[in-house]
Every structure is written in structure tokens, then in C-alpha cells.
């Protein structure tokens, strides 16, 4: 994509070298594992998380990264990839970015073990070079992500998610990893804890906007890699729906909850729920919240002088909220 290439431009050399280092970090003595990781590496996504790391590091130092930055990027990408492999098993999903998932090709048991291998490689990478500050950031992210997913599963059974609980869930399951990226980027090049915390907060805010954007896709008409209404079918309580549930009449609320609980596989009923959420401004409310998070994130960048790296990060923030998939 043109905009992604534009974002990458000031860190093109770093991203190219990172890809080699990331591939090396996944090497194993087990031939099967190497075949699977080769398959993963050759079907990579946009690599937004390493981009956050390199841009954060370069903004803080005005253009410098080091080996810790590369290790931090590899650690995060290993964790992100492991979480995707495990997610596909949990969700019984057989496609990822248009290709067969690991569990589709090699079955669940191998997919779970591959994910475990990547998690452990990430942690060992930091221990080997005594990057204990980065290890702390990464370990906290893994803990938060797991808790967020479990909280979402627990609350989905009862359909009683308040807006505050929803923010807690997405902060843990999605925003925490992007926050870790930005904290690692800054922390890899400076020891200033205030600087690291500023970038952690910046990443968290962008992560919140990122997840709300994903929620909005469920109500869109464009093909974005998942069918419209999939969150409703899976009884996931997202912001547009939560807002409408909290602001509609008691009879409409009963109808909505009954639809999600008992008729979530009925395509006609799901379409009716989507239309109801749209008509009652659920999407407008979520869009406004997303823009608010974006603004708060961009405000934090005012601490730094103008540079090509800052321009790239601002472009990336806008991409997160304007992307089509």
C-alpha cells in the first residue's frame, strides 16, 4: 500500500535489517519448526508494531537506533505472531490474511506449540542480552493481553459490559501491545523513565483508537477480511452496541439482548441489529471516541521537535483511524 510505504520511508533501512534479524531469531534445530516459521515470515502483514518501535526510537534520539531497538522489535513481533497463531486456534479460524492459518495446515497441537516456541524465544532474546527493562515491558504486555481476552470471554456470557469495562478490555487485549512497542522504542535508546512512559501512553491511546476502528468495521459494507456482523455472531460487545444498549428503551434493550443471545446466527436478525445500532447513532458515538483518542495521542507528540520521523508517526496515527481494513 502506498501510505504504508510512505510511513516506512524514513526507517526503510532499519526495517530491511530487522526482517533478517527477526528471521534469525526464529531459527530452530527442528526442521518442522523452521518450515512453519518460514511460512509465517513469508506471509507477514504490514509490520506496524516494529514500525512504531523504530519511529519512537528515532523521534527520541533524532535519528538513531541501536541493537537493543532491533532486539525489542524482534521480541514484539515474536509475541504478536505467537498471539495470532494461538488466536486462530481459539477462534477455529482457518485463514489469516488470505492464506491458510498454521492450525489449518499443521493442526491445533502443532500450532499451539509453535506459538509457545515464539513466546519463549521472545523472552529468551531479552534474557540473553540482559535487556531486563525491555523484558519487563514485554512480560507485562503478555499478562495484560491474556487477562483482557479472558475478561472479554467472561463478560460475553453475561452481556453486561459497561462502557468502562469495554475500555478496560480493549486496553488490555489490544492497546497494551502497541503501548509496549512505543515504550520499547523509547526505552531501547534512552533511560529517561518519563520519556518511556510518555511513549507508552501514546501507544496505548493509539491502540484504543485502533480497536474501536476494528469494531466499526463490523458495521461496514466493505470487504475487510471478515464478514459484516461477525462480532455480533460471536456475542462480542463492542462500543457501538454498548452505547446503544445503554441509551435505548427497556423494550429495545430486551430485543437487542435476545437477538445477540438467541438469534446471533440468524442473518436477517443480525442485519436488523446492525441497522438498529446505525440508526441510533452507535457508530457516530464510537467514531467520536476514536477521534478523541487520536487527538490525545497526537497531543503527546508536541513534546518533540519536527522531523521526518515525527511526520511518519503522525501519518501512521492517521492511517490507523482512516484505514479501510
- Taking each continuous run of H as one helix and of E as one strand, the counts in the chain are 16, 2
The closest alpha carbon to 144, from 118, 101, 178, 188, belongs to: 178
In this predicted structure, what is the pLDDT of residue 225? 45
Question: Residue 96's beta-bridge partner residues?
Answer: 99
Q: Where are the beta strands (DSSP E) in the chain?
A: 95-96, 99-100
Distance (Å, whole) CA 256 – CA 273: 7
CB 280 within 8 A of CB 248: yes
The CA-based dihedral angle spanning residues 176, 308, 315, 186, taken in that order and rounded to the nearest 10 degrees = 0
Cell of 260: 445477540
pLDDT tens per residue, range 264-281: 788 889 889 999 999 999
pLDDT of amino acid 227: 52
The answer to whether residues 78 and 67 touch, using CB atoms and an 8 Å cutoff, is: no
pLDDT tens digits, 34-88: 888 888 877 777 788 999 999 999 999 989 999 999 999 999 999 988 888 888 8
What's the pTM?
0.88
Instruction: Give the highest mean pLDDT range of 66-70, 214-218, 237-241.
Output: 66-70
The 10s digit of each residue's pLDDT in 8-44 is: 999 999 999 998 888 888 888 888 988 888 888 777 7
**d(C-alpha 32, C-alpha 113), whole Å:** 12
Collapse the DSSP code of 236 into the 3-class scheme (helix H, G, I; strand E, B; otherwise coil) and give the result. coil
User: In the prediction, which pLDDT does 323 show?
Assistant: 84
Question: If you average pLDDT over residues 126-136, what whole number do you get?
Answer: 92
- Mapping DSSP to helix (H, G, I), strand (E, B) and coil, where does residue 227 land? coil
Query: Quick count: other Cβ atoms within 10 Å of Cβ 109?
Result: 10
Distance CA 158, CA 304 (A): 45
Residue 228's pLDDT is what? 65
CA 65/CA 60 separation, integer angstroms = 10
Using CA atoms, how far residue 121 sits from 74, 75, 77, 78, 313, in Å, is 10, 8, 11, 7, 28
pLDDT score of 220: 72
Exposure letters 53-78 (e unless 16+ CB within 10 A, then b): bbbbbbbbbeeebeebbbbbbbbbbb
What three-state secondary structure class fits 305?
Answer: coil
Backbone angles phi, psi at 323, to 5 degrees: -60, 155
Q: What is the pLDDT of residue 1?
A: 67
User: Rounded CA gap, 191 and 27, in Å?
Assistant: 31
- Whether the CB-CB separation of 13 and 19 falls below 8 Å is answered with no
Q: Are 138 and 179 in contact (CB under 8 A)?
A: no
Amino acid at each position: 500500500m502506498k501510505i504504508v510505504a510512505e510511513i516506512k520511508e524514513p526507517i526503510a533501512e532499519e526495517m530491511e535489517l530487522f526482517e533478517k534479524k527477526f528471521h534469525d531469531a526464529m531459527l530452530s534445530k527442528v526442521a518442522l519448526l523452521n518450515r512453519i516459521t518460514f511460512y509465517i515470515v513469508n506471509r507477514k502483514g504490514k509490520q506496524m508494531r516494529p514500525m512504531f518501535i523504530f519511529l519512537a526510537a528515532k523521534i527520541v534520539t533524532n535519528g538513531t537506533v541501536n541493537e537493543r531497538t532491533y532486539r525489542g522489535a524482534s521480541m514484539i513481533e515474536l509475541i504478536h505472531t505467537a498471539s495470532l497463531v494461538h488466536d486462530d486456534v481459539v477462534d477455529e479460524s482457518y485463514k489469516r490474511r488470505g492464506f491458510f492459518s498454521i492450525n489449518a495446515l499443521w493442526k491445533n497441537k502443532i500450532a499451539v506449540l509453535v506459538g509457545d516456541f515464539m513466546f519463549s524465544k521472545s523472552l529468551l532474546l531479552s534474557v540473553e542480552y540482559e535487556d531486563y527493562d525491555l523484558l519487563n515491558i514485554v512480560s507485562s504486555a503478555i499478562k495484560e493481553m491474556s487477562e483482557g481476552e479472558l475478561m472479554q470471554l467472561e463478560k460475553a456470557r453475561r452481556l453486561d459490559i459497561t462502557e468502562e469495562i469495554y475500555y478496560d478490555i480493549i486496553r488490555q487485549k489490544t492497546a497494551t501491545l502497541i503501548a509496549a512497542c512505543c515504550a520499547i522504542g523509547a526505552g531501547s535508546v534512552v533511560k529517561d523513565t518519563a520519556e518511556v512512559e510518555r511513549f507508552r501512553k501514546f501507544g496505548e491511546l493509539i491502540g484504543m483508537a485502533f480497536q474501536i476502528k476494528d469494531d466499526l468495521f463490523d458495521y461496514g459494507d466493505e470487504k475487510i477480511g471478515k464478514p459484516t456482523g461477525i462480532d455480533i455472531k460471536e456475542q462480542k460487545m463492542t462500543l457501538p452496541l454498548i452505547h446503544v444498549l445503554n441509551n435505548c428503551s427497556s423494550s429495545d434493550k430486551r430485543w437487542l439482548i435476545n437477538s445477540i443471545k438467541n438469534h446471533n446466527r440468524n442473518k436477517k436478525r443480525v442485519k436488523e441489529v446492525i441497522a438498529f445500532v446505525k440508526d441510533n447513532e452507535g457508530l457516530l458515538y464510537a467514531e467520536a471516541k476514536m477521534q478523541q483518542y487520536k487527538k490525545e495521542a497526537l497531543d503527546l507528540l508536541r513534546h518533540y521537535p519536527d522531523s521526518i520521523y515525527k511526520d511518519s508517526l503522525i501519518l501512521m496515527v492517521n492511517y490507523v483511524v482512516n484505514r479501510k481494513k
